[in-house]
Amino acid sequence: MIKIALIIFLTFINLNVMSGEKELREIIKKTYPELMIKSIQKTNFNDLYEIFIGGQIIYSDEDFNFLIVEGRLVDPKTKIDLTSARLEELNKVDFDSLPFKNAIKEERGDGSRRIAVFSDVDCPFCRKLEKETISKLKDVTIYTFLYPLAIHPDAMNKSKKIWCSENKIIAWNNYMLKNTLPKNDGNCDTPIEANLKLAKKLGISSTPTIIVSSGKRIEGALPYEDFKKYIE
């Protein structure tokens, strides 16, 4: 009887939590209809709810009486940044589910280590990453997803020229390392629009963004010595 009562009690709590999450989602949709909510979860801290909107966690109570944006939830006992830990967990990508056919694939050595890079041809930090880090990698397979940002007006056209080249790897490296653009009109079918949608779905808004085979994502032009520990 005690076991049955405990099961009923836990089920009741779980249903209440799910109900709270559902109601909060509806309130947020009415207030901020443009906000893309990926998940809502009740935290272990009183009535605080974690709202994951892709790349960012915000907090509120069940009735949306307040909103904490760009705040960090820290466990006072362990001093662990719980927001960062949760973001890393929620932002993990199922690497093998990525549409690799939409990327420029470069295989070096045995290609055993794999990374995916969302990169903009006119992003200075992307060039820095290519020159100082990616160019030094060995025994790796690199999937480069062309991801031209709106802030770079010529990036879309340049990306099309690179994709439409006979040898995409050479075209990409020539431009990123030597600033030499391929001589074609960029008039072919490209996966660039699909890449833009994929980036939005994954919550990727800046370049370069790297995803390693474990699913961890790394943002920015990480130096070679710092980056290699993620793939070794």
Summarize the confidence of residues 1-21 as an average pLDDT: 45
* Res. 167: pLDDT tops 70: yes
CATH number at residue 107: 3.40.30.10
In percent, the amount of the chain with pLDDT more than 90 equals: 57
What pTM, to 2 d.p., does this model score? 0.75
Residues 35 and 60 both lie in one domain: yes
Q: 93-116 in b/e burial notation, b at 16+ Cβ within 10 A?
A: bebeebeeebbbebeeeeeebbbb
Summarize the confidence of residues 30-55 as an average pLDDT: 86
Summarize the confidence of residues 31-53 as an average pLDDT: 87
* Res. 47: pLDDT tops 70: yes
Residues 151 and 181 both lie in one domain: yes
Residues 144 and 213 both lie in one domain: yes
Residues 181 and 118 both lie in one domain: yes
Q: Report helix, strand or coil for 166.
A: coil
Q: How many CB atoms lie within 10 A of CB 121?
A: 24
| Maximal C-alpha separation, the chain | 78
Residues 72 and 131 both lie in one domain: no
Residues 110 and 152 both lie in one domain: yes
Among 43, 64, 90, residue at a domain's last position: 90
Split at pLDDT 50, 70, 90, the class of 37 is: confident
- Pairing relationship of beta strands 104-108 and 113-119 according to DSSP bridges: unpaired
Q: How far apart are CA 183 and CA 147, in angstroms?
A: 20
Give the per-residue pLDDT at 104: 98
* Res. 92: pLDDT tops 80: yes
pLDDT digits (tens, 9 = 90+) for 104-158: 999 999 999 999 999 999 999 999 999 999 999 999 999 999 999 999 999 999 9
Residues 39 and 129 both lie in one domain: no
* Res. 231: pLDDT tops 50: yes
What values do phi and psi take at 3, rounded to 5?
-60, -45
Give the per-residue pLDDT at 133: 95
Residues 25 and 49 both lie in one domain: yes
Among 50, 68, 90, residue at a domain's last position: 90
Q: How far apart are CA 142 and CA 135, in angstroms?
A: 11
> Who has greater pLDDT, 58 or 87?
58
Residues 82 and 128 both lie in one domain: no
- The whole domain housing 160 covers 95-230
Overall domain count for the chain? 2
Residues 176 and 112 both lie in one domain: yes
pLDDT digits (tens, 9 = 90+) for 172-216: 999 999 999 999 999 999 999 999 999 988 889 899 999 999 999
Among 90, 111, 126, residue at a domain's last position: 90
Q: How far apart are CA 155 and CA 147, in angstroms?
A: 9
Q: How far apart are CA 152 and CA 125, in angstroms?
A: 13
Residues 67 and 106 both lie in one domain: no
Residues 63 and 110 both lie in one domain: no
Give the per-residue pLDDT at 8: 33
